[in-house]
Amino acid sequence: MAKSASPGTCMLCRYRSGKAAMVRHVSSCAAAHDASKGTPTRLYHLRVEGAGAPMYWLDLEMKADATLNRLDRFLRDIWLECCGHLSAFNIDQMRFTIPIDDPFDDFREDRSMNYKIGEVLRPDGHKFSYEYDFGSTTYLNLRVMGSREGVIGRSLLRLLARNDPPVWPCEVCHEPATLVCPFCLGEDRAFYCAAHSGEHKCDEEGVWLPVVNSPRMGTCGYTGGV
Protein backbone atom coordinates (compact mmCIF):
# COMPACT_ATOMS: atom_id res chain seq x y z
CA MET A 1 0.00 0.00 0.00
CA ALA A 2 1.70 3.22 -1.11
CA LYS A 3 0.89 6.74 -2.13
CA SER A 4 3.47 9.04 -3.69
CA ALA A 5 1.90 12.35 -2.66
CA SER A 6 0.59 13.32 0.76
CA PRO A 7 -0.93 16.81 0.75
CA GLY A 8 -2.56 18.14 3.88
CA THR A 9 -4.50 21.03 5.34
CA CYS A 10 -3.66 23.44 8.16
CA MET A 11 -6.44 23.23 10.76
CA LEU A 12 -5.84 26.83 11.81
CA CYS A 13 -6.13 28.71 8.49
CA ARG A 14 -7.07 25.99 5.92
CA TYR A 15 -3.84 26.46 3.95
CA ARG A 16 -3.02 23.39 1.85
CA SER A 17 0.46 22.11 1.03
CA GLY A 18 2.61 19.01 0.87
CA LYS A 19 3.83 17.25 3.99
CA ALA A 20 7.30 18.81 4.12
CA ALA A 21 6.11 22.35 3.44
CA MET A 22 3.44 22.05 6.12
CA VAL A 23 6.07 21.84 8.86
CA ARG A 24 7.37 25.25 7.87
CA HIS A 25 3.89 26.70 7.53
CA VAL A 26 2.53 25.63 10.91
CA SER A 27 5.69 26.78 12.65
CA SER A 28 4.63 30.36 11.92
CA CYS A 29 0.87 29.88 11.66
CA ALA A 30 0.62 28.41 15.16
CA ALA A 31 2.07 31.52 16.78
CA ALA A 32 -0.24 33.74 14.73
CA HIS A 33 -3.24 31.85 16.12
CA ASP A 34 -2.24 31.91 19.78
CA ALA A 35 -4.79 33.06 22.34
CA SER A 36 -4.69 36.78 23.07
CA LYS A 37 -4.70 36.25 26.83
CA GLY A 38 -2.94 33.82 29.10
CA THR A 39 0.48 32.97 30.42
CA PRO A 40 2.95 31.69 27.81
CA THR A 41 4.11 28.12 28.32
CA ARG A 42 6.57 25.80 26.60
CA LEU A 43 4.95 24.10 23.60
CA TYR A 44 6.25 21.11 21.63
CA HIS A 45 5.53 20.73 17.90
CA LEU A 46 5.14 17.02 17.08
CA ARG A 47 4.93 15.33 13.68
CA VAL A 48 3.22 11.92 13.72
CA GLU A 49 3.31 9.49 10.78
CA GLY A 50 2.11 5.99 10.11
CA ALA A 51 5.11 3.63 10.14
CA GLY A 52 5.20 2.12 6.67
CA ALA A 53 2.29 4.37 5.68
CA PRO A 54 3.75 7.91 5.65
CA MET A 55 0.83 9.27 3.62
CA TYR A 56 -0.96 9.45 6.97
CA TRP A 57 0.47 12.26 9.08
CA LEU A 58 -0.44 14.81 11.74
CA ASP A 59 1.13 17.96 13.13
CA LEU A 60 0.15 18.89 16.65
CA GLU A 61 1.27 21.17 19.43
CA MET A 62 1.39 20.11 23.09
CA LYS A 63 2.18 21.80 26.34
CA ALA A 64 5.40 20.54 27.89
CA ASP A 65 3.54 19.69 31.10
CA ALA A 66 0.99 17.50 29.28
CA THR A 67 1.48 13.78 29.85
CA LEU A 68 2.13 10.92 27.47
CA ASN A 69 -1.24 9.63 28.62
CA ARG A 70 -2.91 12.70 27.08
CA LEU A 71 -1.06 12.13 23.81
CA ASP A 72 -2.11 8.48 23.87
CA ARG A 73 -5.78 9.46 24.23
CA PHE A 74 -5.49 11.93 21.36
CA LEU A 75 -3.94 9.38 19.00
CA ARG A 76 -6.60 6.83 19.91
CA ASP A 77 -9.41 9.31 19.30
CA ILE A 78 -8.24 10.62 15.95
CA TRP A 79 -6.65 7.52 14.39
CA LEU A 80 -6.74 4.24 16.30
CA GLU A 81 -9.35 3.28 18.87
CA CYS A 82 -11.40 0.23 18.02
CA CYS A 83 -11.51 -2.30 20.86
CA GLY A 84 -9.73 -0.76 23.85
CA HIS A 85 -6.36 -2.35 23.07
CA LEU A 86 -3.16 -1.69 25.01
CA SER A 87 -0.61 0.82 23.72
CA ALA A 88 2.94 1.98 24.41
CA PHE A 89 5.45 4.73 23.65
CA ASN A 90 9.07 3.75 23.00
CA ILE A 91 11.46 6.58 23.91
CA ASP A 92 15.23 6.14 24.11
CA GLN A 93 15.08 2.40 24.89
CA MET A 94 12.41 3.03 27.53
CA ARG A 95 8.85 1.81 27.22
CA PHE A 96 5.88 3.73 28.61
CA THR A 97 2.50 2.01 28.98
CA ILE A 98 -0.75 2.28 30.90
CA PRO A 99 -0.20 0.33 34.14
CA ILE A 100 -2.02 -2.99 34.53
CA ASP A 101 -3.20 -4.04 38.00
CA ASP A 102 -1.69 -7.51 37.80
CA PRO A 103 1.60 -8.49 39.53
CA PHE A 104 2.20 -11.18 36.92
CA ASP A 105 1.62 -9.12 33.79
CA ASP A 106 4.26 -8.89 31.07
CA PHE A 107 4.53 -5.09 31.31
CA ARG A 108 5.56 -4.64 34.96
CA GLU A 109 9.00 -3.34 33.97
CA ASP A 110 7.48 -0.59 31.81
CA ARG A 111 7.12 2.98 32.94
CA SER A 112 3.84 4.83 33.32
CA MET A 113 2.41 7.18 30.70
CA ASN A 114 1.95 9.74 33.48
CA TYR A 115 5.32 11.28 32.64
CA LYS A 116 5.12 14.79 31.21
CA ILE A 117 6.42 15.12 27.66
CA GLY A 118 8.83 17.82 28.79
CA GLU A 119 10.41 15.23 31.11
CA VAL A 120 11.04 12.56 28.47
CA LEU A 121 11.36 14.41 25.14
CA ARG A 122 14.11 16.73 23.99
CA PRO A 123 12.76 19.96 22.47
CA ASP A 124 14.16 19.65 18.94
CA GLY A 125 14.53 16.67 16.63
CA HIS A 126 13.86 13.92 19.19
CA LYS A 127 12.49 10.77 17.49
CA PHE A 128 10.35 8.16 19.23
CA SER A 129 7.63 5.63 18.38
CA TYR A 130 4.22 4.40 19.45
CA GLU A 131 2.25 1.20 19.06
CA TYR A 132 -1.43 0.50 19.48
CA ASP A 133 -2.75 -3.07 19.91
CA PHE A 134 -0.07 -5.65 20.64
CA GLY A 135 -1.76 -8.21 18.39
CA SER A 136 -2.78 -6.51 15.14
CA THR A 137 -0.39 -3.66 15.84
CA THR A 138 -0.49 -0.20 14.29
CA TYR A 139 2.92 1.48 14.57
CA LEU A 140 3.49 5.24 14.49
CA ASN A 141 6.69 7.28 14.17
CA LEU A 142 6.89 10.59 16.02
CA ARG A 143 9.38 13.44 16.02
CA VAL A 144 9.71 16.71 17.93
CA MET A 145 9.96 19.32 15.17
CA GLY A 146 10.64 22.22 17.51
CA SER A 147 9.45 24.07 20.58
CA ARG A 148 8.42 27.61 21.50
CA GLU A 149 6.77 29.73 24.16
CA GLY A 150 3.10 30.31 23.36
CA VAL A 151 -0.50 30.46 24.55
CA ILE A 152 -3.06 27.90 23.34
CA GLY A 153 -5.67 28.35 26.06
CA ARG A 154 -6.85 25.68 28.49
CA SER A 155 -6.40 22.75 26.12
CA LEU A 156 -3.25 20.68 26.64
CA LEU A 157 -2.80 20.16 22.89
CA ARG A 158 -4.17 21.28 19.56
CA LEU A 159 -4.16 19.77 16.10
CA LEU A 160 -2.21 21.97 13.68
CA ALA A 161 -2.50 20.04 10.41
CA ARG A 162 -3.26 16.62 9.00
CA ASN A 163 -3.08 14.79 5.72
CA ASP A 164 -5.97 15.00 3.30
CA PRO A 165 -7.74 11.64 2.90
CA PRO A 166 -5.95 9.53 0.28
CA VAL A 167 -8.16 8.44 -2.60
CA TRP A 168 -8.10 4.70 -3.25
CA PRO A 169 -9.72 3.79 -6.60
CA CYS A 170 -12.22 0.98 -6.92
CA GLU A 171 -10.64 -2.03 -8.63
CA VAL A 172 -13.56 -2.22 -11.08
CA CYS A 173 -14.75 1.28 -11.96
CA HIS A 174 -11.79 3.35 -10.65
CA GLU A 175 -14.12 5.72 -8.82
CA PRO A 176 -13.18 6.45 -5.18
CA ALA A 177 -13.46 3.28 -3.12
CA THR A 178 -15.48 3.24 0.10
CA LEU A 179 -14.75 -0.34 1.22
CA VAL A 180 -11.56 -2.28 1.87
CA CYS A 181 -11.09 -6.03 2.30
CA PRO A 182 -8.97 -6.44 5.46
CA PHE A 183 -7.67 -9.80 4.27
CA CYS A 184 -6.38 -8.43 0.95
CA LEU A 185 -5.00 -5.12 2.20
CA GLY A 186 -1.42 -4.75 1.02
CA GLU A 187 -2.16 -6.86 -2.02
CA ASP A 188 -3.95 -6.23 -5.31
CA ARG A 189 -7.74 -5.90 -5.49
CA ALA A 190 -8.45 -4.78 -1.92
CA PHE A 191 -10.44 -1.57 -2.60
CA TYR A 192 -13.99 -1.38 -3.96
CA CYS A 193 -16.98 0.89 -4.15
CA ALA A 194 -20.27 -0.39 -2.74
CA ALA A 195 -21.65 -1.06 -6.21
CA HIS A 196 -18.82 -3.41 -7.16
CA SER A 197 -17.92 -5.06 -3.86
CA GLY A 198 -19.74 -8.20 -4.95
CA GLU A 199 -17.11 -8.76 -7.64
CA HIS A 200 -14.34 -9.19 -5.09
CA LYS A 201 -13.28 -12.77 -4.45
CA CYS A 202 -11.18 -14.02 -1.54
CA ASP A 203 -11.32 -16.71 1.13
CA GLU A 204 -13.19 -14.40 3.52
CA GLU A 205 -15.95 -13.04 1.28
CA GLY A 206 -18.35 -10.49 2.72
CA VAL A 207 -16.01 -9.08 5.39
CA TRP A 208 -15.54 -5.36 4.72
CA LEU A 209 -14.24 -2.35 6.58
CA PRO A 210 -14.72 1.29 5.53
CA VAL A 211 -12.03 3.30 3.78
CA VAL A 212 -10.96 5.85 6.40
CA ASN A 213 -8.23 8.46 6.82
CA SER A 214 -6.08 6.51 9.25
CA PRO A 215 -3.05 4.18 9.23
CA ARG A 216 -5.28 1.65 11.04
CA MET A 217 -7.60 1.36 8.06
CA GLY A 218 -8.53 -2.26 7.41
CA THR A 219 -7.20 -3.52 10.75
CA CYS A 220 -9.11 -5.33 13.51
CA GLY A 221 -12.54 -3.67 13.83
CA TYR A 222 -11.47 -0.11 13.11
CA THR A 223 -14.18 1.95 11.41
CA GLY A 224 -12.74 5.46 11.64
CA GLY A 225 -11.96 8.34 13.97
CA VAL A 226 -12.54 12.05 13.47
Phi and psi angles of residue 44, each rounded to the nearest 5 degrees, phi first: -110, 130
Instruction: Report residue 145 CA to chain centroid gap.
Output: 16
Mean pLDDT (the chain) is 91
Instruction: In whole angstroms, give the CA distance from residue 218 to residue 221.
Output: 8
Report whether CATH 3.40.50.300 matches the domain 8-163. Answer: no
pTM value?
0.91
pLDDT tens for each residue of 169-218: 999 999 999 999 999 988 778 999 999 999 988 867 668 999 999 999 99
Collapsing DSSP to helix, strand or coil, 99 comes out as: coil
Instruction: In whole angstroms, give the CA distance from residue 197 to residue 36.
Output: 51
Instruction: In whole angstroms, give the CA distance from residue 166 to residue 82.
Output: 21
> Above pLDDT 90, what percent of the chain?
82
Going from N- to C-terminal start, the domains of the chain cover 8-163, 179-210
Collapsing DSSP to helix, strand or coil, 140 comes out as: strand
Mean predicted confidence (pLDDT) in 9-37? 96
- Extended beta strands in the chain, E state: 8-10, 16-17, 41-50, 53-63, 87-91, 94-97, 111-112, 127-132, 138-150, 157-163, 179-180, 191-192, 209-210
Instruction: Give 99's pLDDT tier (boundaries 50, 70, 90).
Output: low
